[in-house]
């Protein structure tokens, strides 16, 4: 039997691919259609970073 894709690691921290899915989707769609240089996605990018930081992940 295979392990679930979003299993929790030993330190009770989920994998980064399993959190902030809505924020990531909105960010990715915005970047796809507008590009990062447009500046139109800055709020969505920041929201995704804040969400990830809430789960203990550092983003650049």
17 is in an annotated binding site: yes
Cβ–Cβ under 8 Å, residues 55 and 20: yes
Cβ–Cβ under 8 Å, residues 20 and 52: yes
6 is in an annotated binding site: no
User: What number of other Cβ atoms are within 10 A of residue 27's Cβ?
Assistant: 20
Per the annotation, binding residues for Cu cation are 17-18
Per the annotation, binding residues are 17-18
């Amino acid at each position: 039997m295979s392990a679930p894709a979003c299993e929790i690691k030993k330190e009770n921290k989920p994998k980064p691919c399993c959190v902030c899915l809505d924020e990531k989707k909105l960010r990715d769609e915005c970047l796809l259609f507008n590009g990062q240089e447009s500046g139109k996605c800055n709020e969505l990018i920041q929201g995704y970073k804040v969400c990830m930081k809430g789960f203990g992940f550092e983003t650049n």
